[in-house]
């Protein structure tokens, strides 16, 4: 079946959904969205093995425009999509490379990772699913008309990963206005790394993961557009303090909360005036 016409039709619907999901609240007030933007955590990780192309496609079938993922770097300098610091939980690295414990991501080359099965642990029908490169992941998102919440994972392990990621995003066409306005956010727990990304590409929206102290929020708002905490720490006074501030693009800071599970996340976010939920 031809894929190109399908992609164009989906892309139009996706952009409409993005526009709704990223609408700003009035200055100093939380969003009034009855249905917060729902971002597929590591892809549709409840339907397919996390952080794989299969999870991207599962999110697409569910109508999820936004997908969250994690980027790390291989021993030979390739950017790949993986959450854990080691390969043990979500691949068969212990079987393929039994002598290479503890199977840290950065100790393996891209060619090594290409040998691993990243799907069988989740279900037999995903046998043979591979650890995706960030390039391949971006291309599938583009094909599907999806958007990306990209986490720089444990960047202290990978010096220079901020600039490398930005360079790859540019190479793949993700730094044009259509993407930076409506289809891309880069986030991290590493505050200096978020500041670095903003300095490199000020047009890209950025987010700080966690629930920073109130006294730090104004400083972070100079280079971050979002503060993205676990749902359990998104309390009313803290949420109000975040929403009173404006980020580097002149809009009120947004909150994309995570850690509430696939069922309760969106209603809880709506009740608290949170703009998005990663679930």
Which residues are identified as catalytic? 41, 83
Residue 172, class by beta-carbon neighbours within 10 Å (0-12 exposed, 13-18 middle, 19+ buried)? middle
Q: Six-digit token pair at 169?
A: 């995003």
Give me the DSSP letters along 88-106.
TTTS-HHHHSTTSTT-BGG
Name the CA dihedral angle for 183, 49, 189, 192, rounded to a multiple of 10 degrees: -60
212 bridge partner residues: none
Residues 92, 88: Cα–Cα separation, whole Å: 7
- If we measure between CA atoms, which residue out of 80, 59, 60, 57 comes closest to residue 70? 80
Terminal C-alpha separation, the chain: 31
Q: Six-digit token pair at 94?
A: 């212990």
Asked whether 89 and 122 are in contact (CB, 8 A), the reply is: no
Asked whether 190 and 224 are in contact (CB, 8 A), the reply is: no
């Amino acid at each position: 079946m031809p894929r190109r016409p399908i992609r164009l039709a989906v892309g139009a619907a996706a952009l409409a959904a993005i526009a709704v999901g990223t609408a700003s609240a009035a200055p100093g007030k939380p969003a009034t969205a009855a249905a917060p933007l729902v971002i597929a955590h590591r892809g549709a990780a409840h339907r397919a093995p996390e952080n794989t192309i299969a999870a991207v496609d599962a999110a697409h079938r569910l109508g999820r425009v936004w997908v969250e993922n994690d980027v790390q770097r291989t021993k030979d300098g390739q950017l790949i999509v993986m959450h854990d610091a080691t390969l043990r939980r979500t691949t068969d690295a212990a079987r393929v490379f039994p002598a290479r414990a503890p199977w840290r991501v950065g100790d393996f080359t891209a060619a090594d990772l290409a040998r691993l099965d990243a799907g069988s642990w989740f279900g037999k029908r995903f046998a043979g699913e591979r650890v995706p490169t960030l390039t391949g992941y971006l291309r599938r998102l583009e094909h599907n008309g999806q958007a990306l919440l990209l986490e720089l994972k444990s960047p202290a392990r990978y010096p220079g990963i901020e600039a490398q990621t930005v360079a790859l995003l540019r190479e793949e066409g993700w730094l044009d206005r259509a993407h930076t306005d409506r289809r891309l956010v880069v986030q991290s727990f590493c505050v200096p790394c978020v500041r670095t990304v903003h300095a490199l590409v000020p047009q890209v929206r950025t987010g700080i993961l966690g629930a920073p102290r109130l006294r730090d929020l104004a400083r972070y708002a100079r280079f971050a557009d979002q503060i993205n905490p676990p749902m359990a720490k998104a309390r009313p006074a803290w949420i109000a303090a975040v929403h009173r501030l404006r980020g580097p693009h002149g809009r009120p800071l947004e909150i994309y909360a995570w850690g509430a599970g696939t069922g309760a996340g969106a209603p809880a976010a709506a009740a608290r005036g949170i703009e998005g939920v990663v679930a």
